Amino acid sequence: MEREQEYIILTTERQKEKICGRQNAQQWPFACGMIDAFWEQMKLPGILEENEIGLYHNPCFSLPIAREKTKLIATIHDVVFRERADLVEARLCEYLDRWTEVACKVADRIITVSEYSKRQVIKYYGVEDSKIEVIYNGIENKFQKADKYEQERVKKLYGLKDFVLYLGAMEPKKNLDCLLDAMRIVKEKFPECQVAIAGGKGPQEYDIKKAIRIRRLENTAVVTGYVDEKDVTALLSAARVFVYPSVYEGFGFPPLEAMACETATIVSDATSLPEVVGEGAWIVGKEDREGMAKAIERLLSDREEARAYSIKGKQRSRLFTWEKCIKKTWELYKKVI
């Protein structure tokens, strides 16, 4: 059946790189934005009808209201804009909420990336349980422990020695204040231990330099900024401990990627994170600064326990593969068609 199908990937004109190299897959660029309700509602229905598209899947929440015979699937990663509007840019909240509600009504099936997100979609949009399929994301095979040479290279590159790592966007949602408060406690017992804050700016403003300054952590915290893709696995592997204190995630890639690199990991108990990491990471309250500090101190001082978490974390991370995600998504396509 798969060989008989033709696949069309709709992209913006900015997408120059070919996404899929299969002979039965075409890539069509359009003059539209990443968030573009006019194109989705006024242009897309005509494209679907004219080309007799049997199934349209938007992997990012929104769907066209008008459609003829085309079956519709949307992936809704989370509903943070409805549940925690304070964590999203105000101008985006109304838009995301409106078109997510539309998608929930017109979709033949909804995909969520965690059981947590499924519960929230049901809660806020009244979608029937049977209409939602949970299909977990995967992590790339490249995430595995880097060799010592690579670890030393990135440590030298970013001016790091013995360090705790956060990798992700710098925005209020990620709860970096909690991590920095915890590091104020940790540095009393481990004065030489650094905390590396790695990643670019998020959609909402967060002044990381001010947050570090008011806690007097200038000699402890290292802000690397955006990390080049080729350095990510080595940086994750080189960290003594990885900490992800986020207060809202629909899934949460960074902890799994750190676990795959065999780094002992700590996450907050917020939203989908406990579901995703299972017993592979140390879970603390999202506002428990002292608890987070104790967890970091324990993993820094007890190498056996840190090793146990690195083993459990690696085993857990192996459950999340793109092959599984693809297989489940394809099975859903067949059901809907």
Residue 129 has pLDDT above 60, yes or no: yes
Token pair of 8, please? 């069309």
- 81 and 223 share one domain: no
- 38 and 76 share one domain: yes
User: Helices 289-301 and 176-189 meet at what angle, rounded to 10?
Assistant: 50
- 40 and 153 share one domain: no
Residue 158 within a domain: yes
Residue 9 within a domain: no
Burial annotation 302-315 (CB, 10 A radius, 16+ → b, else e): eeeebeebbebbbe
In tens, the pLDDT along 172-228 reads: 999 999 999 999 999 999 999 999 999 998 888 899 999 999 999 999 999 999 999
**Collapsing DSSP states into helix, strand and coil, what is residue 75?**
strand
Residue 14 within a domain: no
Beta-carbon contacts of residue 72 (< 8 Å; ≥ 6 apart): 55, 56, 57, 63, 64, 103, 106, 107, 108
Residue 161 has pLDDT above 90, yes or no: yes
Residue 143 within a domain: no
- 192 and 123 share one domain: no
Please tell me the pTM assigned to this model. 0.93
In tens, the pLDDT along 21-30 reads: 888 889 998 9
- 308 and 198 share one domain: yes
Residue 7 within a domain: no
Q: Which of 154, 135, 159 is nearest to 251 (CA)?
A: 135
- 179 and 219 share one domain: yes
Beta strands in 178-317 (DSSP E): 194-198, 221-225, 241-244, 264-268, 282-284
| Residue range of the domain that includes 270 | 148-317
Token pair of 239, please? 């960290």
The CATH number given to whatever domain includes residue 238 is 3.40.50.2000
- Quote the pLDDT of residue 257: 98
Residue 1 has pLDDT above 60, yes or no: no
Residue 5 within a domain: no
Residue 2 within a domain: no
- What domain count does the chain have? 2
- Quote the pLDDT of residue 31: 87
Q: Which of 162, 219, 229 is nearest to 198 (CA)?
A: 229
Higher per-residue pLDDT: 330 or 33: 330
- 207 and 226 share one domain: yes
Angstrom distance (rounded) from CA 300 to CA 335: 49
